[in-house]
Structure 1
């Protein structure tokens, strides 16, 4: 691999210097504090703006993080930002398991679930094809297709943890997050209007929203903006998509491992290297399906999960190098645009078929 491609994803030269610097031991809280304070204040500002102006909080966190990322030129902030961007996101994904049960998937029905899987497969493929058409790497296509097919920013960050920044520049991740957030915000505003205008019944409209809007909160909000029935259907369909996060991360791990020369000779179970946060996510889904978890616990877990996602997204934006993002250009947005378009077309055709 060309060294320039390797270091393109390196934010401040840590990879380039890694051979000269000895691994550091455990850090004290003081070492993390500057970065934690920076991302905390930025995220609070995003939450305030979202509450007062009605914009998606993840999108505002992204934009504020990109606008203020000059503050991350101070290396004392790096440890705290990296901690939240990496571990904060992973814990947030684990806690998301409290929102899903096997019963919710069963409630969809086998036919509807198979239809939903087909839409997700077409969306994922569109991300890969869009990346190829617009001259992006297949890893960019995996990131775009997975984020659009599953659950937006959470899926982007989870898949990037598997792909690794040695294969895909972190600037591409930041571009993907911005594109997904913009697409999701647009979908939440437009798709409910389209569903009503074409005369979909409430259940079919809920399916359309749940099957095509990327972000969980915006999918649920878009459904309930039509009716309670549409909102409940959108919630179940969207959470069914979220359950596919773990299987898709597993498949991507196997795919990447089989494509790497150093990994191809290993047995599949050795190449899998399933991330711990996916194991934790599955464990909580299983527990939530078997046990009766108090509503207060699941509600608190959802709030913490959303807060950690906001912190992770904001930290990622603060650490992104805007010069590398500019170098990527508008083409870096196109895989998400292609995947979003295919997702909507497939979902609306399926919703019309279900309403017949």
Structure 2
């Protein structure tokens, strides 16, 4: 009973976030039924629906504790579970040169994207979110990096919304580029794996070219996703070093690296060493996805749509230029490695 009393205040907001997440899932399912594919993922739909609810009718204060719990605690748990879906064994067949090249592309892309965002007047945290989302794995990277740098709800929503738009655009444009540029199938697979945000989008972009392109693109993409662990680890160290390990808003002293980063790396290591049973990995990934969508609904319910709209032009410009830079760097790697 004491536990119920202590947690009852989060119930209204948690229920609301769950309801918005369910509506997002139903919207994604409707897309599948109508169009045979999901053009807008439930994660982005949850944010959009949350913003719509918050805009149409301001929420009572009684919902705020549950919304904050969903946006922070549930998201951090989801990040820990996400580590179980990444295995270091995925890179064994890629070769040292390609692995090193992918790491260099990620580092250069993050630096270039962040610089572009700052030159366009974006706040440092928003520029960081766009840089990491663009350079690593789109929505997943943004979601994982956001709590590390303590980004605001509006910054997260803006980064996710415009990155999602570009991710869909890349799926349509890349196959056209392949046919016009005269690239080989392996070259195109590497380019798609390096420049497309999500694994399903890589599959969609490479499928028109053939099975070899799909296999190559997926492998490169998985190696690129593995860069998420080191990036959030380093960001955690940098942020805590700048703040002295103290939250400027509360004055509370944190450990050097947030717990969920350690948890993410730990579950990734357990998966890599075969200590997580294979039959458990899919359910863990499913729970991670559900918690993430609920957390995104909470973020949407915390967003002032006017602030997102105000940043829209600069954000889409920064994201677009960053994607072009990423594509250019990736094309350069293909030339340097002389991929046939």
TM-score by length of 1: 0.80
1:237 aligns with 2:220: yes
Q: Contact 2:158–2:312 at 8 Å: present in 1 too?
A: no
Q: How many Å separate the matches in 2 of 1:97 and 1:320?
A: 28
Look up the SS of the partner of 1:319 in the other structure: coil
Q: Deviations over 1:214-234 (max 9, x none)?
A: 234323443445433333322
Shift of 1:324: 2.4
Shift of 1:260: 4.5
Q: Contact 2:236–2:258 at 8 Å: present in 1 too?
A: no
Q: Deviations over 1:114-162 (max 9, x none)?
A: 1111211221112221122211233332221112112222222332212
Q: How many Å separate the matches in 1 of 2:141 and 2:301?
A: 19
Q: How many Å separate the matches in 1 of 2:150 and 2:140?
A: 15
Q: Contact 1:253–1:271 at 8 Å: present in 2 too?
A: no
Shift of 1:258: 4.2
Q: Deviations over 1:162-205 (max 9, x none)?
A: 2225xxx4322221111111121222232234234434333332
Q: Which residue of 2 aligns with 1:180?
A: 163
The residue correspondences of 1:215-230 to structure 2 (distance < 5 A) are 215-224=198-207, 226-230=209-213
Q: Contact 1:31–1:79 at 8 Å: present in 2 too?
A: yes
Q: Contact 2:154–2:308 at 8 Å: present in 1 too?
A: yes
1:56 aligns with 2:34: no
Q: Which residue of 2 aligns with 1:200?
A: 183
TM-score by length of 2: 0.84
Distance 1:194 1:62, change over 3 A: farther
Q: Which residue of 1 aligns with 2:261?
A: 278
Distance 1:203 1:301, change over 3 A: farther
Q: Contact 2:189–2:213 at 8 Å: present in 1 too?
A: yes
The residue correspondences of 1:194-343 to structure 2 (distance < 5 A) are 194-224=177-207, 226-260=209-243, 273-291=256-274, 293-343=276-326
Distance 1:36 1:222, change over 3 A: farther
Q: Which residue of 1 aligns with 2:52?
A: 67
Q: Which residue of 2 aligns with 1:146?
A: 132
Runs of 4+ in 1 over 6 A off after TM superposition: none
Q: Which residue of 2 aligns with 1:95?
A: 81
Q: Contact 1:126–1:338 at 8 Å: present in 2 too?
A: no
Distance 1:260 1:300, change over 3 A: closer
Q: Which residue of 2 aligns with 1:46?
A: 24
Most deviating of 218-227 and 338-347: 218-227
Q: Deviations over 1:265-295 (max 9, x none)?
A: xxxxx99711211111111221112116444
List gaps (5 residues or longer) in structure 1: 1-24, 264-269
Q: Which residue of 2 aligns with 1:36?
A: 14
Q: Contact 1:224–1:232 at 8 Å: present in 2 too?
A: no
Q: Contact 1:150–1:245 at 8 Å: present in 2 too?
A: yes
Q: How many Å separate the matches in 2 of 1:284 and 1:261?
A: 27
Q: How many Å separate the matches in 2 of 1:303 and 1:262?
A: 33
Distance 1:65 1:196, change over 3 A: farther
Look up the SS of the partner of 2:93 in the other structure: helix
Distance 1:218 1:303, change over 3 A: farther
Shift of 1:259: 4.1
